[in-house]
Structure 1
């Protein structure tokens, strides 16, 4: 089904793969004759290299400084981004910047604060010259596909699923500070990423959908880090056998592989997509050159892909539905054991085997929604499967969320909405809530099957700290519909006979023409920004001092820690415009005592920066400095005092900057990790002035210990990687931390204390 090449591979004429080994040179010579190119030149012949080169503003392709063509954010990120940019000197948006409202459009927590954010967004679009998409019009990524994507372009979004590669657009999801840099006409600085080819061949079986392909790929590459922080480039003779909607459905899920971005070859089907959306001029034919070299190759035989299911609690925990149904108790037992590691809470009773009824797995809920599931073809195929059937009157329910109003409108016109409603399914407007726990939260102990993006613990909205737990399994819309047709009993779409009608899509832009505010090129500095009472400025953040004293206030030994665990999604999203209010939820579902511990040590730093008595502010600090002064002479008034967390591999999942900023506003100064799950989480730490330390081996410290780091500022400024630190005990215990590679700008940001300070200092 899927093969991973051990080394790199050459692609000849877009169709022939030559695996890199000791005989590669001879094989290439035999095929190409005098046309043989060096490995270095062939690496420049990928689509990814071509696009990155066109957007790089440095004279060094190893050290990229990228300027994006367009930016996009939604309503739990754009307030913080604009507030940060305003504090850093924003005058107008230098490139088209789209503010969508698809995350907090239904989450009714905190009175008026959600709608206050929307009003803020519209006023900023008018003042700074942006595009404002009102609530319920489109989810962020569907609007970008319909209205923003362009062949050979680059787009940056403050959402991790910013992926438009199937349309020929290299898109990346990052934390808000990276968008701030673009708004201030700065650059996105990265090393040239590796490029991994994804060679698709063959044709899918009837009933197999894009989520099935995506989950199969994620299952093959996530755990081994095969594409981590690399660009996935989709090529091969099988691409032409996929509709554009299918390609989009596979592409959006590449985020769950932890890749940096994605790009696909384009063809007449993609050109037709742009024609349908009245933007044929944005189409560009893209393909690798005659001889292209890839740092790895994922070979996918589409004909062998079967309906898949990603069981709780990760998109990579994949099985075929056939295997699950045939080995039900064995696999459920395996999943339960894995789940207990993820839940890390012995007080929670977790079981899936009790979902077996009459020898089959019964689920209580189905959801087809968002940027992954809410596409036109997914919903049409689901409607065909359910045509003339009923979902029943037991616990099982089905909700369908078209990804945009134009998609919704066409489904109404062609009768598919009526088909779905007559089955007992409910139809909702464009909303991302089911993806992050703000919509369709299952009952306690419920099992939900969803064509959405993630199934991390508690991401569906349950709270283990309140004794709640529910589960999400990811599936394709077609198998969800097949399960709904069988009234909640797990069924693969390939097990039923269906005539897929595949109605043609007609895009009607009237809704957007009448409702979307387009202020590009029309910035009006006289417009007053509208602030609701829940929109709060960032608190002042101190600069890095010569020495640091840090207390470890949380120690997490899970194999991977997601951003959902660092700062939960769901109802907390309504507080994303209030840094201090949101920070109260930090690690609340993983380590509920964290906030209190962090605040206690923060009292000392607040006293220090206010010129007050540090020792009166915190009972532990005087003894800590006494122990340090046995070896070093340190002035507490000139020493930054803060907290840090240790996690094995933090930062998988969402791009949300708040996973870092919430730690910072509580006095967090650093993370220590064995490795960072994603580039974007590490970047978020840096942009908030936090030190992204690395440490391998047996830990010399434990939760509650203090760490002293002398001459840290000098170490940053002189580009040292190895940092000497000490565990503060009766005798200081020396150990070594690493920082990893940092750009000059990143070092300056850390020394300044955060990105806001960095830009203020530059004025």
Structure 2
């Protein structure tokens, strides 16, 4: 029977020859990940199920959401995860000074590779599909079960095929692609479906573009996002990991609920207006409006805190100053990227232009710390969600955009793109 990439991975991990959309299966897990918010909630459930993790090399703890700890409660949560990691002798625990934003850190450390079945107690776990893995976010109860027994049940998702053609224009990135797609199909357009990306246009996308696209699959309601494995993905895994991996390709006659062809060359810089990632408008539509004055810019997160994102933002900010009424936070996603920004001179560019240059953290993305918005404030952010109150006060507004748009907006003081500088 013909299967999609996701269906093939799930079949292999369930020990089945084939699976079909809607089928309930129990699959073995390669990686189980939790952070400093979800891990503490999973811990008491785990303790009821047993005293040992199923594999100390396959359970990963990354305290990244409220770290450096912003208050006593977040410090206690981080402490609980540290103690758990020590008790369980976990190989992969990342304390302050070694931590990074989880969805950038795991690929960088070579913990996740193609063909694996991965769960994380964070909705943006779907990021790792950029490497050709099945990865999805689950709740803390499921994470507890996964840590204890190394297996979890799934309903096999149906799929949507995105055939990518053409090549992106300068200063247009994977963030613009996924905002364009979500704007096209809606925030529930891929509800519990696998978003599968194939086509000759894939080869023109950087790995950072692909991580960004898969990261936001959940914002279209997707169960997961996944790219076909090519030479660029193989080179990335060879550089970062020593693990063996398995490549899965979709059968030519695999069944998809919908199929779309996306011409990358036609995509313009795209901004998601409040209060949904699907409320997408091109920069050309924005220019037809009254200028939207902003108060804050955030460049970073698990969506756009990677090295290419830092370089793009720095190249635009170089020689410019941030608008007087705008505060800008630049947050590299990992310690490695942070250091690379310093050695390449990007940190100096950020600081001289008037930005803060902060330690890796999820902080401002979900209104945790390091950039909470006050009532009435507007923020252009390279993060992944712009729900009501997402980054602070319920009367604040968040506009999702690429690092290029964010940097240009910081300079202009209104929503803008590189063409406007």
- TM-score (normalizing by structure 2): 0.93
391, 397, 400: which one aligns with 1:471: 397
> Take 2:18 and 2:178, find their aligned partners in 1: how far apart are those partners?
34
**Aligned counterparts, 1:108-119, within 5 A:** 108-109=70-71, 111=72, 113-119=73-79
User: How far 1:145 moved relative to its partner?
Assistant: 1.5
> Take 1:431 and 1:205, find their aligned partners in 2: how far apart are those partners?
30
User: Is residue 2:44 matched to residue 1:83?
Assistant: yes
Gap change, CA 1:300 and 1:118, over 3 Å in 2 = same
> Take 1:239 and 1:484, find their aligned partners in 2: how far apart are those partners?
30
> Take 1:86 and 1:369, find their aligned partners in 2: how far apart are those partners?
35
User: Is residue 2:11 matched to residue 1:53?
Assistant: yes
For residues 533-554 of structure 1, give each alpha carbon's deviation from its aligned partner in whole angstroms, at most 9, with x where no partner exists.
Answer: xxxxxxxxxxxxxxxxxxxxxx
3-state DSSP of counterpart to 1:204: coil
What is the aligned partner in structure 1 of residue 212 from structure 2? 249
For residues 554-592 of structure 1, give each alpha carbon's deviation from its aligned partner in whole angstroms, at most 9, with x where no partner exists.
Answer: xxxxxxxxxxxxxxxxxxxxxxxxxxxxxxxxxxxxxxx
Gap change, CA 1:421 and 1:98, over 3 Å in 2 = same
> Take 2:364 and 2:192, find their aligned partners in 1: how far apart are those partners?
27
> Take 1:284 and 1:405, find their aligned partners in 2: how far apart are those partners?
29
Contact conserved, 1:206 with 1:494, CA < 8 A, in 2? no
For residues 620-675 of structure 1, give each alpha carbon's deviation from its aligned partner in whole angstroms, at most 9, with x where no partner exists.
Answer: xxxxxxxxxxxxxxxxxxxxxxxxxxxxxxxxxxxxxxxxxxxxxxxxxxxxxxxx
What is the aligned partner in structure 1 of residue 337 from structure 2? 407
**Aligned counterparts, 1:217-296, within 5 A:** 217-223=181-187, 225-277=188-240, 279=241, 281-282=243-244, 284-296=246-258
3-state DSSP of counterpart to 2:125: coil
Contact conserved, 2:118 with 2:133, CA < 8 A, in 1? yes
> Take 1:78 and 1:376, find their aligned partners in 2: how far apart are those partners?
28
What is the aligned partner in structure 2 of residue 307 from structure 1? 269
**Equivalences, count:** 412
Listed as ranges, the gaps of 5+ residues in structure 2 are none
What is the aligned partner in structure 1 of residue 417 from structure 2? 492
What is the aligned partner in structure 1 of residue 34 from structure 2? 73
Contact conserved, 1:100 with 1:135, CA < 8 A, in 2? no
What is the aligned partner in structure 2 of residue 481 from structure 1? 407
Gap change, CA 1:362 and 1:274, over 3 Å in 2 = same
Gap change, CA 1:57 and 1:325, over 3 Å in 2 = same
What is the aligned partner in structure 1 of residue 87 from structure 2? 127
Contact conserved, 1:271 with 1:280, CA < 8 A, in 2? no
Listed as ranges, the gaps of 5+ residues in structure 1 are 1-40, 329-358, 497-763
What is the aligned partner in structure 1 of residue 160 from structure 2? 196
> Take 2:365 and 2:82, find their aligned partners in 1: how far apart are those partners?
25
User: How far 1:490 moved relative to its partner?
Assistant: 1.7
Contact conserved, 1:271 with 1:283, CA < 8 A, in 2? no
3-state DSSP of counterpart to 2:340: helix
User: Is residue 2:70 matched to residue 1:144?
Assistant: no
Gap change, CA 1:90 and 1:275, over 3 Å in 2 = same
For residues 223-275 of structure 1, give each alpha carbon's deviation from its aligned partner in whole angstroms, at most 9, with x where no partner exists.
Answer: 5x431101111101100011111111111011101111121111111122123
Contact conserved, 1:65 with 1:187, CA < 8 A, in 2? yes
> Take 1:280 and 1:194, find their aligned partners in 2: how far apart are those partners?
32
291, 300, 310: which one aligns with 1:369: 300
> Take 1:494 and 1:251, find their aligned partners in 2: how far apart are those partners?
27
For residues 167-189 of structure 1, give each alpha carbon's deviation from its aligned partner in whole angstroms, at most 9, with x where no partner exists.
Answer: 11110101011112212316422
- TM-score (normalizing by structure 1): 0.52
> Take 1:58 and 1:129, find their aligned partners in 2: how far apart are those partners?
32
What is the aligned partner in structure 1 of residue 314 from structure 2? 383
What is the aligned partner in structure 1 of residue 146 from structure 2? 182
> Take 1:90 and 1:296, find their aligned partners in 2: how far apart are those partners?
45
For residues 701-759 of structure 1, give each alpha carbon's deviation from its aligned partner in whole angstroms, at most 9, with x where no partner exists.
Answer: xxxxxxxxxxxxxxxxxxxxxxxxxxxxxxxxxxxxxxxxxxxxxxxxxxxxxxxxxxx
Contact conserved, 2:49 with 2:145, CA < 8 A, in 1? no
Contact conserved, 1:371 with 1:403, CA < 8 A, in 2? yes
3-state DSSP of counterpart to 2:225: strand
What is the aligned partner in structure 1 of residue 283 from structure 2? 321
User: How far 1:282 moved relative to its partner?
Assistant: 4.1
User: How far 1:124 moved relative to its partner?
Assistant: 1.4
Contact conserved, 2:380 with 2:409, CA < 8 A, in 1? no
**Root-mean-square deviation (CA), in Å?**
1.8
Gap change, CA 1:407 and 1:284, over 3 Å in 2 = farther
What is the aligned partner in structure 2 of residue 704 from structure 1? none
What is the aligned partner in structure 2 of residue 608 from structure 1? none
> Take 1:417 and 1:476, find their aligned partners in 2: how far apart are those partners?
19
User: How far 1:150 moved relative to its partner?
Assistant: 0.8
Please tell me whether Structure 1 or Structure 2 has the larger radius of gyration of its CA atoms: 1
User: Is residue 2:370 matched to residue 1:444?
Assistant: no
User: Is residue 2:30 matched to residue 1:100?
Assistant: no
Contact conserved, 2:8 with 2:18, CA < 8 A, in 1? no
